[in-house]
């Protein structure tokens, strides 16, 4: 195996993590800014807040997956499916560096 590719993926994960952390921080700041109760835009703002919260949740979820992937790199188990123990296809990791399962397990997940 090419020894350099996990390091490249680590760089990408670390960078992605920084971007996500910044994005989530901005979203949370938007939510925390609060709502003007007298605003005619209140309903729109409430809807917007739901969207922002959903985005923050999504970002936090992705962040958790990135952290788990970085931990697996440290443990030396990165690139191995956490479900079946087979090697995860390199192309899959290239497209989704924080993937924890191989494409077979990801697509046959019916439970």
Contact set with Zn ion (CB under 5 A): 81, 83-84, 102, 105
Shortest separation between residue 89's beta carbon and Zn ion, angstroms: 10
Residue owning tokens 């910044």: 22
Shortest separation between residue 38's beta carbon and Zn ion, angstroms: 55
Q: Which is nearer to Zn ion, 13 or 81 (CB)?
A: 81
The SS3 of residue 96 is: coil
Q: Which is nearer to Zn ion, 55 or 105 (CB)?
A: 105
Q: Which is nearer to Zn ion, 21 or 83 (CB)?
A: 83
Rounded to whole angstroms, how far apart are CA atoms 18 and 28? 15
Rounded to whole angstroms, how far apart are CA atoms 51 and 31? 10
Shortest separation between residue 110's beta carbon and Zn ion, angstroms: 14
Instruction: Tally Cβ neighbours within 10 Å of residue 9.
Output: 20
């Amino acid at each position: 195996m090419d020894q350099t590719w996990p390091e490249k993926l680590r760089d990408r994960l670390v960078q992605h993590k920084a971007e996500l952390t910044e994005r989530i921080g901005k979203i949370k700041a938007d939510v925390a800014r609060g709502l003007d109760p007298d605003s005619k835009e209140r309903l729109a703002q409430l809807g917007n807040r739901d969207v922002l919260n959903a985005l923050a949740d999504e970002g936090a979820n992705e962040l958790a997956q990135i952290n788990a992937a970085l931990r697996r790199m440290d443990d030396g188990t990165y690139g191995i499916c956490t479900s079946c123990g087979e090697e995860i296809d390199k192309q899959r990791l290239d497209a989704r560096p924080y993937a924890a399962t191989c494409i077979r397990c990801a697509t046959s997940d019916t439970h």
